[in-house]
Structure 1
């Protein structure tokens, strides 16, 4: 909310306070003033008249100006294209300090120059408020500008400071200048006088205007015909107030609609009465068409959008912007006023989809008080009669109602003091309620308050308690030390898991990534073991951040694609984060490896980022937590073959619980995410936490030598290497310490439907040196077991 000191001065006396002092008081009361912005700035300025203006003999664009300041005349060299004799200007004299620096007397191409003739932009005025001629040249003042005036900024109404107030979500009422004035008056304990125009819209003869709505998204619509208005320039105070609010002045009628919106918070729309000959306005949805708005841009209207229509044709996008075909022109003789209520979520969705954010749409999205439409209509009629010679008023017509029920609360001072931990006097509480215009009255020992319609955030006694301490000052709250039990600092099981995984994975060379928790529809659809039902945000920032994610991998793949598109091909990363569904929260771990995990060219060492590397990383992690051996089961992937390659992926279980899925990305998913190639995994860490891990045991390295034997087995193609290794380990018991596959072969000399697997078996004892006889006995035993269980034959 932008409100200037001059604007506040219209309603309460703040002449003795600086803008900074006002800002500090408002901030202390809970509405943070994020910044102060001067409308303009400059010292040692003076209004002068250019008496003569001749071309500089040594320049094709400079001019020699003699400027009369009343008590003296100074020579100033000026390069502005619009400078000429006979005009009144603003001059910065030597020593003046402007936003661009300090002005000094000097010599310009051989001639003396004692100052600078200024444009408004050079005085710090927002360029958005300036016309093209004002941006491209010096400011030419009206003929009645007083020569010698040393405060030209005040003469132009630019001696103002704007307070940029950050509103909390519950204080949408302060989007209205009147409400902000009441708030400021309560904080400063000063009387506030708002314009009294109640009932101004009741005047009017019989009308044929009809207003209606075919949708529940428009509960209230007011319309009023004013047959005669005069289009002219707005008064000075109105233009100054609009400029301070960042709105450019157009003409008196359009400016009045904007002023009323700023004052009451209720957006209005004025239609040229000639553009609506049927005198019929209907709010509709379920229309599909294109429509050209006031900004001259054609928008595509969809069924969910609210449209203002007349005779079935659009004349405005409800709550956002009117149409180009019904706008106020210089020849407009009469107008129709619209003041309506629209569903805030619908306005937000339309505004976001059309990428069309206006002052009106912002106010509708934040919520408008129930009686704002009536206040705005009264204020608009009063201003139109005063500044636009409004005549020929017809009766105000209404569709629907405001559905407003006044709120009254009876509060107990003793309960409020107990709640706040204070000893505030009852009289002081009553005074605060009076300052907030809550109409307090005593009912026995209790205080009865009537909540104004503008304060929709005050509903219960606790709200009144908050208002009392906010206005009195939080420094009245007693200072107490928090009572906390002494505990020994330690990480819980989940925190320990996170720390150990991050330490292990970064040691492997993986990057620890952090991606957005909010996801798009595409990312929700591509969830890996995703939680459901997904949580959808009521007011998302954009379509790409519409849902709370139930899976990490899609977000991580977007980050991988970003890096690959910037020539970062060798990427290994992981992310550990919470994922959500309605009423559910789980910890997931996602991993993505691309190209190579590690590479050393001079050593000719390459660790590829493939299925087996990823499998090794996952199994190493599980072993660190005490999950290995028969407790960890890897099976072919039958759970998700839409996102994982069906022949190059697997599911990993801890006992009977599915821990996760890992393997090559499916080519179609890789194409959707613009990822060249990757192996990936998503693991549900809740499975790890809920299963009881085996105790990790440590043993000394055997001091006796080991013996290795290589063997090549011919087995059926479908026989898994893991089954062969398990059979060898079970047969060899404690004498077989390691089994490693070092070759898999299919082709010539191997029967169709079979494959050759070469393994290296390590034999070792912790008690003695093994003899050939002992090794041979175990070797024969494991060969027999392989033949019986897996039909394996020595090659």
Structure 2
């Protein structure tokens, strides 16, 4: 935001306040002044008149001039093409310091020169505000310019200092000079007097103008016809204010539209009335066409863009730029004024896609106050009447009813003082609120505030507290040491879990990955154990980063694909991260293993990961955490057979709580993510944290011998081996130490629909050597239980 000291001085008395003091006070109040610029700079300047201009005897482009500066006549060598006798000019006398040069007496090709005749560029004036003629030569002053006047910058209106203010995202209101003046007045405790323009657009002759909005992206469109005005040069004060804001002066009508935008923050567009086919404006979207804008470039318009149309033909890109076919020129006699409200997201998308970051689009993107279109219309009509001889003014037409409600609420001084750690009095707070135009009134122990429409950032009590402390100043805050509780330096349960997981997995050769939390719609749709809701960003940087993820595996698969594409073959990754729903946050562990577990090119063997690999890793993790035995339950995966292989995956439970899903990736998902075959797991760590681990019991290694017996059973093909092992262990809990499957067979000598399971059972006691009678008793019980409960037949 650029605003000059002279501009602010129009609205308040700045007295002897220097630009540096003003910058410091505004910065201290929360609006950082990033720099101070000057419209022009130069010392030892004077207005002179060229008496004679003769060609240099030793040059074909230089001239030797005699210049009257009132108290003396200076001989100056000048090379400007427009240098001639009779001109009033700017003279930098010897000793003058300009932005990029110091002027000294000298000899130029044998001729003495005692100064320099200056162009505005040489005084540091921004070239964007100058014409090509001005940039090509010295500045030509009016005929009545006072020769000998040393206040040259003041005479030209260039003795101004400009504040470059960096606005925070919540203070878009300060893009308007009127609002910035209110802000400065509150900070400096100065009375602010703005121009009286309210209601200047009210009334007018009856009109045949019709305006209508056929898109929700334009909730309000206002139009006003002025059938008679005069195009001429703008007054100097207007030129200077525009110049201070980096805007080039065109003519009085165009300059008024730009000035009103700078004053109110509301972009306006003026159409040449004679160039419109019909006085009926319809705002719509859904068009797909080409359109030539004011800059002469043809743009591709898509269906999402807001277009201003007449007779179904576009005449402007809503909120971005008008068209070349209806612009104001020297022959304009009447105009149609547009002031509208547009959806800021739509304007941002259009401006970004077309690469058209105009002053209008920037303001619409940041958001504009609800009353701005009405303010801008009033101010524009006032200025057009005064400086463009506007006549035959017709009534204003609106596309929607005017419905604006003031934001008002009560705040408690006691609560705000407690929040800020201050002891401000009622008088101090009321004073600040009055300076901010919040219209405070006491209501018992509460203060009622009415928020001006341009302060869209103020909505709750905490906002009022912030306004109070920044205006009064942070110097009133007492310096205190932070209060810190006595806490032992140890990890909490969640931190211990993370550290254990990292230790176990890195010891197994895994690498920890950190992937993007923001994902695309496609990756979101591939979430493992998805939530019922999700969080989507209001203004994402790209379509690939618009949703806060609800699962880690899709992100981790992208990391695998990235590394695989760079010729890395074996990729063991894990990630610990939060996943999000609208009302829920979970911490999860995700594991993806791609490539070989082991390989030896010399001996020509390789071991690839399978379902049992990821199952083993998960069991090892849970065992390390203290979850073993019957507490861990694995069931066939029926929950997610879209992302996991339906016959090589499992659901993992701790008791009755679903911990996660493990297994081989589904071939379709592997193809979509370009990762090939891999195994993966996603576990909900909240389940681990919410369950208690088993107590660790230490037992000495038994000194008594083990007895191993092998058995083979024929069972139904669909019977889970886990149920056989569970049944066997239940028959002799005290002496059965281990049950291991060492063979599974289906084929010859086994009936269709059945399979042969061979198991090795280890018997051992901790306090004695087992006798055959004890083992036989348990062995017979195993056969009976398996026959009765599982219909298992002993294979002989």
TM-score, with length taken from structure 1? 0.77
Compute the displacement of 1:85 (Å): 8.1
Give the aligned partner of residue 109 of structure 2.
Answer: none
Distance change (3 Å), C-alpha of 1:446 and 1:784: closer
SS in 2 for 1:432: helix
SS in 1 for 2:580: strand
Give the aligned partner of residue 253 of structure 1.
Answer: 253
Give the aligned partner of residue 375 of structure 1.
Answer: 375
SS in 2 for 1:555: helix
Distance change (3 Å), C-alpha of 1:409 and 1:496: closer
Q: Separation in 2 of the partners of 1:39 and 1:561?
A: 55
Deviation string, structure 1 residues 656-708 (Cα, Å, up to 9, x no partner): 33221122222322333343443222222232233332223344556678898
Compute the displacement of 1:225 (Å): 1.6
- Aligned 8 A contact 1:549 1:579 in 2: yes
Aligned residue runs from structure 1 range 767-786, under 5 A:
none
SS in 2 for 1:682: strand
SS in 2 for 1:494: helix
Give the aligned partner of residue 166 of structure 1.
Answer: 167
Higher alpha-carbon Rg: 2
The question of 1:225 aligning with 2:225 is answered yes
Compute the displacement of 1:182 (Å): 0.9
Q: Separation in 1 of the partners of 2:203 and 2:731?
A: 103
Give the aligned partner of residue 139 of structure 2.
Answer: 142
Compute the displacement of 1:309 (Å): 3.0
Compute the displacement of 1:253 (Å): 3.3
Question: Quick check: 641-650 or 726-735, which moved more?
Answer: 726-735
The question of 1:298 aligning with 2:299 is answered yes
Compute the displacement of 1:264 (Å): 0.5
Compute the displacement of 1:46 (Å): 8.3
Deviation string, structure 1 residues 772-793 (Cα, Å, up to 9, x no partner): x899979987996898568587
Distance change (3 Å), C-alpha of 1:675 and 1:149: farther
Compute the displacement of 1:279 (Å): 1.3
Distance change (3 Å), C-alpha of 1:451 and 1:632: closer
Give the aligned partner of residue 32 of structure 1.
Answer: 31
Q: Separation in 2 of the partners of 1:447 and 1:727?
A: 74
Distance change (3 Å), C-alpha of 1:243 and 1:609: farther
SS in 1 for 2:340: strand
Give the aligned partner of residue 109 of structure 1.
Answer: none
Structure 2 gaps of 5+ residues are 107-112
Compute the displacement of 1:636 (Å): 2.8
Compute the displacement of 1:116 (Å): 13
Give the aligned partner of residue 60 of structure 1.
Answer: none
Distance change (3 Å), C-alpha of 1:677 and 1:297: farther
Distance change (3 Å), C-alpha of 1:505 and 1:23: farther
Distance change (3 Å), C-alpha of 1:790 and 1:388: farther
Give the aligned partner of residue 550 of structure 2.
Answer: 550
Compute the displacement of 1:360 (Å): 3.2
Compute the displacement of 1:530 (Å): 0.3
Structure 1 gaps of 5+ residues are 58-62, 77-81, 107-112
Compute the displacement of 1:119 (Å): 11
Compute the displacement of 1:178 (Å): 0.7
Question: Quick check: 497-506 or 455-464, which moved more?
Answer: 455-464
Give the aligned partner of residue 276 of structure 1.
Answer: 276
SS in 2 for 1:308: strand
The question of 1:11 aligning with 2:11 is answered yes
- Aligned 8 A contact 2:594 2:677 in 1: yes
Q: Separation in 1 of the partners of 2:748 and 2:151?
A: 100
- Aligned 8 A contact 2:577 2:587 in 1: yes
Give the aligned partner of residue 641 of structure 1.
Answer: 641
- Aligned 8 A contact 2:277 2:311 in 1: no
Q: Separation in 1 of the partners of 2:96 and 2:559?
A: 55
Distance change (3 Å), C-alpha of 1:492 and 1:144: same
Give the aligned partner of residue 314 of structure 2.
Answer: 314
> What is the RMSD computed on CA atoms of the aligned residues?
5.6
Give the aligned partner of residue 694 of structure 2.
Answer: 694
Give the aligned partner of residue 79 of structure 1.
Answer: none
Q: Separation in 1 of the partners of 2:346 and 2:2?
A: 25
Q: How many residues align?
A: 773
Aligned residue runs from structure 1 range 675-714, under 5 A:
675-700=675-700
Q: Separation in 1 of the partners of 2:311 and 2:62?
A: 63
The question of 1:593 aligning with 2:598 is answered no
Distance change (3 Å), C-alpha of 1:640 and 1:425: closer
Give the aligned partner of residue 562 of structure 2.
Answer: 562
Q: Separation in 2 of the partners of 1:105 and 1:723?
A: 106
Distance change (3 Å), C-alpha of 1:293 and 1:263: farther
Deviation string, structure 1 residues 626-671 (Cα, Å, up to 9, x no partner): 2222322223322211112223322222233322112222232233
Compute the displacement of 1:469 (Å): 3.5
Q: Separation in 1 of the partners of 2:378 and 2:235?
A: 19
Distance change (3 Å), C-alpha of 1:185 and 1:751: same
Compute the displacement of 1:336 (Å): 0.5
SS in 2 for 1:515: coil
Deviation string, structure 1 residues 41-74 (Cα, Å, up to 9, x no partner): 98899899998799999xxxxx999999999889
Question: Quick check: 251-260 or 753-762, which moved more?
Answer: 753-762
TM-score, with length taken from structure 2? 0.77
Compute the displacement of 1:184 (Å): 0.9
Q: Separation in 2 of the partners of 1:159 and 1:750?
A: 101
Give the aligned partner of residue 579 of structure 1.
Answer: 579
Q: Separation in 2 of the partners of 1:703 and 1:75?
A: 114
